[in-house]
Structure 1
């Protein structure tokens, strides 16, 4: 018999919905290899280390290799409320491109960008690089006009997962005291 997992707010619902897309058996479990995919689907930008931390914190003890929604949802909600794995701001991305463009040409060559993405920091896979270049490269010049590319990246949904997390953190429990007003000698609930 399956135990119901309480969905307490819109943030929990969004996490649950994303998780369940990758729950191929409908049993509220995903393979640990799907954790990064779920996080990215939510709009997070995790490093491999952060993905491994989520796996370590949520992997089922009785079924190694699986993550259950009941552990994943509250853990990820907490990370989101702390604004972990949040995408970089447009200003940070622009500053990073400007470091790669000391001559201020306002573009990066495909070759240089490929080298940087494959060899520096947390390297992209070839598939990730191909996906990025497909969007980033100007088909006429063959270069990456990075301000245009940043504008393409910055389309932010109206209700991002981080906006929901902020709302979730700032929600206060409703005051359980009943308001009263004086009417003559009696008090009555409002």
Structure 2
């Protein structure tokens, strides 16, 4: 009796996880053809509570991409990989207190930004044509090279 109850609980957990994955995937399946743009996969994965590094994300993508890359990821390949990731609780985000400590290391005085400073930083960060933040370019603009 206990074995069948455990199996039922495991099946229920897997079903719940797969429903979450399906719902997240469907949001980005704009053409309703069970595919998403490969550039959206990181967003989908992060919306499911996973925070892989860029290298880990690249490894995940190479696992589920077609042999001849099409620029799209198929749901039938995404679902089993993502189910396994969530079941194994991989790529968990860092707790808030750890992130706060990291920020405090960078800002020892605890000085907040003014609204004007934030607006200035964002105006430098946002690509006016695309409306997105190109973070690599932004970082290079914000850093000061030592001479």
User: What range describes the TM-score normalised by the shorter chain of this pair?
Assistant: 0.5 to 0.7
Gaps of 5+ in 1: 1-6, 119-124, 129-190
Instruction: Give CA deviations for 1:105-158 in whole Å, capped at 9, x if unaligned.
Output: 3x44476xx6xxx8xxxxxx7367xxxxxxxxxxxxxxxxxxxxxxxxxxxxxx
TM-score (norm 2): 0.60
Give secondary structure in 1 for the equivalent of 2:36: strand
Superposed counterparts of 1:116-135, under 5 Å: 126=133
* From 70, 77, 92, the counterpart of 2:76: 70
Give the aligned partner of residue 40 of structure 1. Answer: 46
Q: Report the CA distance shift for 1:62/1:101 in structure 2 as closer, same or farther (over 3 A).
A: closer
Give secondary structure in 1 for the equivalent of 2:73: strand
Provide the rounded CA distance (Å) in 1 between the counterparts of 2:47 and 2:39: 14
- Are residues 1:49 and 2:55 paired? yes
Instruction: Compute the displacement of 1:13 (Å).
Output: 0.8
Provide the rounded CA distance (Å) in 1 between the counterparts of 2:45 and 2:61: 11
Q: Which deviates more from structure 2 when the two are superposed, residues 60-69 or residues 85-94?
A: 60-69
Instruction: Compute the displacement of 1:52 (Å).
Output: 1.4
Aligned CA RMSD, in angstroms, stands at 2.9
Superposed counterparts of 1:34-183, under 5 Å: 34-61=40-67, 64-103=70-109, 105=110, 107-109=111-113, 126=133
Tell me which structure has the larger Cα radius of gyration: 1
TM-score (norm 1): 0.48
Give the aligned partner of residue 22 of structure 2. Answer: 16
More strand by share: 1
